[in-house]
Amino acid sequence: MYGNGIARQNYQSETATLNNMLNDFATKPELAAAVTAFSLQPWLDELQDANTQFNDEYLTRTQEYGAANPETLKSKREEVNVAYYALRDRIDALHTLVETPPSPYTTVINQLNALTDQYNTLLLHRTLPPENAPDTSE
């Protein structure tokens, strides 16, 4: 009824879907009987607690973002970008200046590249619906 893609939904949809599912387990007689027969109530209670806690944290964060000055957020992003590019350039320079290969900076460079790729993939999946997202399983 709820499909197998709940984890791929946006935060609000995922929370609402879990709330609806939990409500069905509590109110539909056949599901309530299954919960009792399989002793699933502790699992459902834990799922409800985690979903409620996540929703509370999400709403708190959203309120903080809403209360923040957009100029402050923009300037912080710019500061972080400047610091990141300075760090990246320094690592690249140190890597270039290594006199005896292999460079000890290769691992750091590879890890930063992997993090950048993961972040770009995350952004891509946030902007494209799942059916239009490119296949990144290669």
Residue 84: is its pLDDT beyond 90? yes
Q: Which residue, chain included where needed, has tokens 């984890």? A: 7
**What percent of the chain is modeled with pLDDT above 70?**
91
Domain boundaries, the chain: 1-67, 70-138
Q: Which of 29-33, 86-90, 129-133 has the lowest mean pLDDT?
A: 129-133
**pLDDT category of residue 78 using cuts at 50, 70 and 90:** very high
> Greater confidence, 23 or 9?
23
Q: What are the C-alpha distances in Å from 43 to residues 36, 46, 68, 109, 136?
A: 12, 5, 37, 42, 33
What pLDDT score was predicted for residue 3? Answer: 81
Average pLDDT over residues 74-98: 93
